[in-house]
């Protein structure tokens, strides 16, 4: 076999492998929405509240549980247990989501706000995923900037858990929409460019972006369009 033919075969195999990772990521991402919805519905029925009387303790405990799940998922990402832990994590995130959904449903147009946030999140995902998977541009340079943005969001959210300033909360939500939208572009592009070859890790990253965009959009819509009965 000629060197040129070997190079062509290697390129073809590489493309097939990355397409498989992307396909599996999308499939697992769709599956992860099922436990998320079930967790949210259960949380609404139970009127689930996570240390509602202590926002700071709730925030820190949530981070601890979430990071514990993510550590476990990363350690088992090459086995079936990684998928199991990922789905368990999305159920937990659904329970956490139920709190803001309960607040939204207390508004007369709460159902519409939730639907608008879901539609907006879906539109952001499909547009940016489409761009990331078709462009020849490499967005890997965004990584450090986006990570710094996430750290800023976490620090600001922790500080605001103490002070409870509505304007700061809205600013955090707006920044979260921007940062996590860019993360979708970054993460999908990494798969296409060969920077990520594990679909469990890729699914976790994209899921967290979608989740945070949705929650942030609900928060912003409640603040600007929410109507009390």
Full residue range of the structural domain in which residue 158 is found: 3-225
Domain count, the chain: 1
64-71 long-range contacts (CB < 8 A, ≥24 apart) are 65/92, 66/92, 66/93, 70/204
CA dist 114 and 215 (Å) reads 9
**Among residues 94, 193, 177, 91, which one has the least CA distance to residue 141?**
193
Q: What angle do CA 180, 120, 42 make, to 5 degrees?
A: 85
pLDDT tens, position by position, 80-102: 999 999 999 999 999 999 989 99
Tell me, what's the pLDDT at 141?
Answer: 85
Whether residue 188 contacts residue 22, with contact meaning beta carbons closer than 8 Å, is answered with: yes
Q: What token pair was written down for 103?
A: 């607040």
Whether residue 132 contacts residue 188, with contact meaning beta carbons closer than 8 Å, is answered with: yes
Mean pLDDT of the chain: 88
pLDDT tens, position by position, 164-194: 788 999 999 999 999 999 999 999 999 888 8
């Amino acid at each position: 076999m000629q060197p040129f033919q070997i190079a062509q075969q290697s390129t073809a195999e590489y493309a097939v492998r990355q397409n498989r990772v992307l396909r599996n990521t999308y499939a697992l991402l769709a599956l992860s929405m099922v436990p998320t919805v079930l967790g949210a519905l259960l949380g609404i029925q139970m009127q689930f509240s996570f240390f509602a009387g202590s926002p700071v303790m709730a925030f820190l405990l949530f981070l601890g549980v979430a990071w514990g799940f993510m550590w476990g998922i990363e350690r088992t990402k090459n086995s079936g247990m990684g998928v199991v832990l990922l789905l368990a994590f999305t159920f937990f995130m659904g329970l956490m989501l139920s709190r803001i959904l309960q607040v939204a449903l207390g508004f007369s147009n709460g159902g519409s706000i939730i639907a608008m946030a879901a539609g907006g999140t879906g539109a952001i995902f499909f547009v940016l995923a489409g761009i990331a998977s078709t462009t020849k541009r490499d967005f890997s340079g965004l990584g450090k900037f986006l990570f710094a943005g996430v750290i800023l969001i976490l620090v600001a959210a922790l500080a605001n858990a103490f002070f409870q300033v509505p304007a700061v909360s809205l600013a955090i939500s707006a920044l979260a929409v921007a940062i996590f939208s860019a993360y979708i572009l970054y993460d999908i592009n990494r798969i296409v460019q060969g920077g990520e070859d594990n679909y469990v890790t890729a699914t976790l990253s994209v899921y967290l972006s979608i989740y945070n965009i949705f929650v942030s959009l609900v928060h912003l819509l409640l603040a600007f369009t929410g109507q009390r009965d």
